[in-house]
Structure 1
Amino acid sequence: MSEINEWCMNIQNIVDDIDRCIRSGEDERLTLGRLSQTLGYSEYYVSRKFSEISGMKLRDYMRYRRLAFALRELRDADKGILDIALDYGFTSHEAFTRAFKAAYGITPSAYRSHPVPVILRTAIRPFDCYLLGIGGTGMAQTNSDIKAYFVTIPAHKFLHIRNYESIGYYDFWEKQSHIPGQDCETICGLLDSIKGKLDDMGGDEANSGSGHVMAYINEPEGRICSWGIPLAEAYGVRLPADYSGEIPRQMQIMDVPEGEYIVFEHGPFDFQTENSAVEAKIEQAMKDFDYEKSGYELDKTQGRVFYFYHDCRRYWKYIRPVRKTAF
């Protein structure tokens, strides 16, 4: 493993440790000295490498993550503002209010009364094989079978950004990074602040565990993909059909009618070593599936949406729209 990838792994371990400490209330363990000691390097060296890889100072990252956790409690719980402030390491209501307003441009009390979309500091993923553009770091084989089954998904809304030219996750975010306000950090931060996400399992990373999904929308203006369909790639969250909250200016929302889908699902896997193998296995399963025997066919109607769920702790899923075959 190269030195840069090794340090990406080291910083990823620090990031995971920070979130564990915040969730468990072990604030006293969140010190640079302890984090550095764990890695066996000096505080200065760890601070410098963290800044090089993440683009921000370690102490700033820890403060923004505390604020992100606190904001979710303001949005979703009935606990008092002072109690939330103290739980997340702030010494007073005033200190919390100053930090919160500096980060989000709104006071905690005003946000609680009207939870508008704001850009949260999501957990960074320095060791993300997608964003590193390497598709995985090993050739480990996965023994998990792919499950294929049909589901009916109720009507809902899809809040998202989309790109008509990108090819895959890495290329999508590379292209979006050149559009003001549509880079990965900004969009994921905004999506994290949206209340009512249908797929939110309480995760802290920008993946399906926190309700984020990649999608492929059948659009005539999209590029022709390997499935022979013109697709626009999109990234966003599914919301209830009656969602009426504020829409961030750089996003769009669409109504997705009730429909039938086929799901190709792989169980939990090791992100660092099995990602490529899982991807290859699930792609092969989709290619080999006998639609004729099932009585269904892929629904290639304009506007239909294919969903992609990626959360290595739970699963990898492709959800593709289908319709019954006419006889």
Structure 2
Amino acid sequence: MYEWYKNVQKIVDEIDGCIKKQKDEALTLKYLAHKLGYSEFYISRKFKEISGMQFRDYLRYRRLAFALKQVRDTEYGILDIALNYGFSSHEAFTRAFKATYGITPSEYRQNPIPVVLRTIIRPFDCYFLGIGGTGMLKSAEDVKTYFITIPTHKFLHIKNYESIGYWDFWQKQSLVSGQDCETICGLLDSIKGKLDDVGGSEANSGSGQIMAFINEPTGRICSWGIPLAECYGVRLSIDYDGEAPSQMHMIDVPETEYIVFEHGPFDFETENSSVEEKIEKAMKEFDYTATGYCLDTTPGRVFYFYHDCTRFWKYIRPVRKV
């Protein structure tokens, strides 16, 4: 089964790569089946079994997600966008767009409301969750520590007062109507102007989506000894005036000084657990006495967590002068 989770991961990565490069000839079940050395029927069956959806449906939704961002962010004609992303005509694109998002491309361009995009699936991550981990190879890289000042900004998010960590957070949120991982990540992916978005395709800090922890008196006492509510969301400019999804909170985060604990790129499959241990150890053992700062545990303060194995694992924690 391990091999098939990896194969499906290759397929979804290939799909995104081909959509970005507009290589339509490689976006067929026949091509992918030949590349992996299996029949089209078998590939289709295993894709549905592992991803939970038909190959053709996933491909259509990912094409629409890429196309929506071009409608939102560029002045390209609707027909040009339709043809670039594999639709036969303006009408076919408009029908598919409206059936998926409840609004036509032209209407969306005029008023880009939050909609649920089909984010890239990560079956390999789910496999590792099921077996209880992501490898224990030791990372050779050290944890960097430095101070920064983050200007005033907004934080759009959902939160949970009882969860313990990323997977538990989403498991608990899945029980709340409209707050499951697929819906929230899809909504956040559609929002323009995320401060941390570097153009990534995945629902992580590469596309501007981050975990956070807000100091809340009624929150769960975490391993740091602080009452926290776990959150998931995006940072936005303080001037952001776009529509916010009704199930999310929007707060203003004042300019604050922070300490950053950062580990560089790592292999998710083999090093994720050891990098987490390194970061936790560095935070626990850090000596603030010579810095003139201490951890700021004032209620309302926000701690940020960035996870993108191609760039870094990073905790950003608020501090104040002693």
TM-score bracket relative to the smaller structure: over 0.9
Amino acid at match of 1:125: R
Two-structure CA RMSD over aligned residues (Å): 1.2
8 Å CA contact 1:25–1:87 kept in 2: the answer is: yes
Task: Work out the CA distance in 2 between the residues paired with 1:122 and 1:115.
Answer: 18
Match of 1:39 in 2: 36
Match of 1:173 in 2: 170
Match of 1:288 in 2: 285
Match of 1:111 in 2: 108
Match of 2:56 in 1: 59
Is 6-15 or 309-318 further displaced after alignment? 6-15
C-alpha offsets along residues 205-241 of structure 1, whole Å, 9 cap, x if unaligned?
0000000000000001110001110000000000001
Task: Work out the CA distance in 2 between the residues paired with 1:281 and 1:214.
Answer: 19
Match for 1:86 among 83, 89, 99? 83
C-alpha offsets along residues 246-268 of structure 1, whole Å, 9 cap, x if unaligned?
11011110110000000000111
Match of 1:219 in 2: 216
Amino acid at match of 1:200: D
Amino acid at match of 1:272: E
Task: Work out the CA distance in 2 between the residues paired with 1:77 and 1:316.
Answer: 32
TM superposition shift of 1:136: 3.8
Structure 1 regions of 5+ residues with no counterpart?
none
8 Å CA contact 1:166–1:233 kept in 2: the answer is: yes
SS at match of 2:123: coil
Are 1:191 and 2:188 counterparts? Answer: yes
TM-score by length of 1: 0.96
Is 136-145 or 215-224 further displaced after alignment? 136-145
TM superposition shift of 1:39: 2.0
Task: Work out the CA distance in 1 between the residues paired with 2:251 and 2:134.
Answer: 36
Task: Work out the CA distance in 2 between the residues paired with 1:135 and 1:24.
Answer: 36
Are 1:241 and 2:238 counterparts? Answer: yes
TM superposition shift of 1:271: 1.0
Task: Work out the CA distance in 1 between the residues paired with 2:168 and 2:294.
Answer: 29
Match of 2:305 in 1: 308
C-alpha offsets along residues 257-314 of structure 1, whole Å, 9 cap, x if unaligned?
0000000001111111111111111111111111112111000000000000001111
Task: Work out the CA distance in 2 between the residues paired with 1:48 and 1:280.
Answer: 38
SS at match of 2:125: coil
TM superposition shift of 1:135: 5.8
8 Å CA contact 2:150–2:256 kept in 1: the answer is: yes
8 Å CA contact 2:128–2:134 kept in 1: the answer is: no
Match for 2:95 among 95, 98, 107? 98
Task: Work out the CA distance in 2 between the residues paired with 1:97 and 1:41.
Answer: 35
Amino acid at match of 2:256: G
Task: Work out the CA distance in 1 between the residues paired with 2:23 and 2:310.
Answer: 23
Amino acid at match of 2:232: Y
Task: Work out the CA distance in 2 between the residues paired with 1:133 and 1:230.
Answer: 29
8 Å CA contact 1:131–1:170 kept in 2: the answer is: no
8 Å CA contact 1:136–1:274 kept in 2: the answer is: no
TM superposition shift of 1:151: 0.2
SS at match of 1:62: helix
TM superposition shift of 1:202: 0.5
Amino acid at match of 1:186: T
Task: Work out the CA distance in 1 between the residues paired with 2:132 and 2:82.
Answer: 40
Match of 2:144 in 1: 147
Are 1:276 and 2:273 counterparts? Answer: yes
Structure 2 regions of 5+ residues with no counterpart?
none
Task: Work out the CA distance in 1 between the residues paired with 2:126 and 2:140.
Answer: 21
Is 277-286 or 149-158 further displaced after alignment? 277-286
Match for 2:10 among 10, 13, 16? 13
Task: Work out the CA distance in 2 between the residues paired with 1:236 and 1:34.
Answer: 37
8 Å CA contact 1:135–1:276 kept in 2: the answer is: no
Count matched residues. 322
8 Å CA contact 2:265–2:310 kept in 1: the answer is: yes
8 Å CA contact 2:5–2:127 kept in 1: the answer is: no
Match of 1:204 in 2: 201
Task: Work out the CA distance in 2 between the residues paired with 1:40 and 1:128.
Answer: 24
Q: 1:150 to 1:134 in 2, by over 3 A?
A: farther
Are 1:323 and 2:309 counterparts? Answer: no
TM superposition shift of 1:40: 2.0
Q: 1:122 to 1:44 in 2, by over 3 A?
A: same
Match of 1:72 in 2: 69
8 Å CA contact 1:135–1:275 kept in 2: the answer is: no
TM superposition shift of 1:67: 0.3
Task: Work out the CA distance in 2 between the residues paired with 1:131 and 1:319.
Answer: 26
- The percentage of aligned residue pairs carrying the same residue is 74
Q: 1:310 to 1:130 in 2, by over 3 A?
A: farther
SS at match of 1:226: coil
Amino acid at match of 1:279: E
8 Å CA contact 1:129–1:137 kept in 2: the answer is: no
TM superposition shift of 1:133: 5.1
